[in-house]
Copies of this chain bind each other. A is one copy, B any other.
Amino acid sequence: MNVNFPIHSVECSLHSSSTGRVEFVEQVGVFFEAEGFSRTAGRIFGRLLLSEASLSLDQLAADLGVSKASVSTETRMLERRGVLERTGHAGDRRVYYRVAPGLPVPTLELRLERMRRFSRLISEARREVRRGSPLVRQRLDLMAEAHRYVVEALGAAL
């Protein structure tokens, strides 16, 4: 009943230079890769960043040149982390994704979470090292303090 690409998918970004768009998408891809995610996840994110309209799985797959299976997996991963959001459109059974409205928050939240995890590690080690060398104790204290400071500063920013 639907035409293949309904109005919702009108392209609204960078239409003057599609090459600039794919370049950006690819850059975000390698960035995500360096952060421990898959390149595809980064590409999806980058692509959606530049799109006003929400995009369906097929559109993303076609656009990025990957299988629908990958897109399905990665979008749900990003959704779980609060980076993406599902949408629907009346008279359309497909699932659409867009970047979450309050985007900066989950992005920074993600970083914060990592720092917290490391912070926790340090604190545990500090507890166990009570009988150890003073230098090591001091070192861990210093790190814990620095991290506490930064985590608080970041938390306040959100």
Interface residue ranges, A against B (CB under 8 Å): 12-17, 20-21, 24, 27-28, 31, 33-36, 49-52, 99, 103-104, 107-108, 111, 114-115, 117-118, 121, 124-125, 128-129, 131-133, 135-136, 139-140, 142-143, 146-147, 149-150, 153-154, 157
Contacts and interface: CB of A to CB of B under 8 A. Distances in A.
A111 B121 contact: no
Nearest to A112: B150
Contacts of A121: 24, 27-28, 31
Nearest to A140: B49
A12 B132 contact: yes
The complex is assembled from copies of this chain, and their number is 2
B111 A115 contact: yes
A124 to B, nearest CB: 7
A52 B14 contact: no
A24 B16 CA distance: 52
A70 B118 CA distance: 24
A83 to B, nearest CB: 12
Q: Which 5 A-B pairs have the closest CB atoms?
A: A104-B146, A12-B133, A52-B133, A13-B132, A52-B135
Contacts of A133: 12-13, 52
